Amino acid sequence: MPEQMTVTDREQPSIRTAAMSPIVAVLRAADASLYQPVVEGLAENGIGAIELTMSTPGTLDALDGVKARARGARVGVGTVTSIEQTRQVLAIGADFVVTPTTDVGIIEMVVDAGVPIYPGGLTPTELWTGWTAGAAAVKVFPASLVGPDYVAHLRGPFPDIQVMPSGGVGMADAAAWISAGACAVSVGGPLIGDALRGGDLSAMARRCRDLVAVVAEAEAQR
């Protein structure tokens, strides 16, 4: 009987070896037409990865335009919850995919396409399942339920696992997550503020620069 191919055998090496931005900005808006000035402000102020969300109407149609004006930042799509959504996201050229759950079928489809995926999970079983299925990193979600020390606990049985907290990560605790060993932090409302509702883009820009600085310092001291 021929040996069965494992997920690891299928994995594209570049998915895990490619450098990842240490900050992923998550955008949830009333409509995708509100993305562009916020995306430009994020990219201009040091944010290297931007997650648009399927829960925002019009996201798929807006992706090409957003990528064209993202000034080098990687633009992915999150809140992907089905195989059909995954097909659509891959077809339009998302730079990465983020899911709120650990769905091995979705993970395998994205890995086979050579695109980084960050599947969500909370328990060690969910996170390890996502990691061994080929995820670039696993998203601890909602991170506010466990805190930065959770990374160290995971690294005991899983020393190589790459972790990105999401859900309740604030400006004040982002550095603590990086210091604890997280490869990146996923930050939404605390970073974006009211910018997606026509609010102050200058204030968002200052928060971006502050967050980039504290995360860089935490990485340097780790």
- Express as a percent the part of the chain with pLDDT over 90: 89
Per-residue confidence band for 3, with pLDDT thresholds at 50, 70 and 90: very low
Query: pTM of this prediction?
Result: 0.91
**In this structure, what CATH number is given to the domain that contains residue 28?**
3.20.20.70
145 located within any domain: yes
Mean pLDDT of 75-97: 97
Residue 7: what pLDDT? 46
Does some domain include residue 3? no
Does some domain include residue 13? no
Number of domains in the chain: 1
Count CA atoms closer than 13 A to 59's CA, side-chain side: 24
- Cα gap 63→212, rounded to integer Å: 24
Mean pLDDT, all residues of the chain: 92
Residue range of the domain that includes 168: 19-221
Residue 181 included in any domain: yes
pLDDT at 15: 59
Residue at 167 is within a domain: yes
Structural domain contains residue 14: no
Contacts of 8 by beta carbon, 8 Å cutoff, 6+ apart = 132, 134
**Angstrom distance (rounded) from CA 128 to CA 145:** 18
Does the pLDDT at position 147 exceed 80? Answer: yes
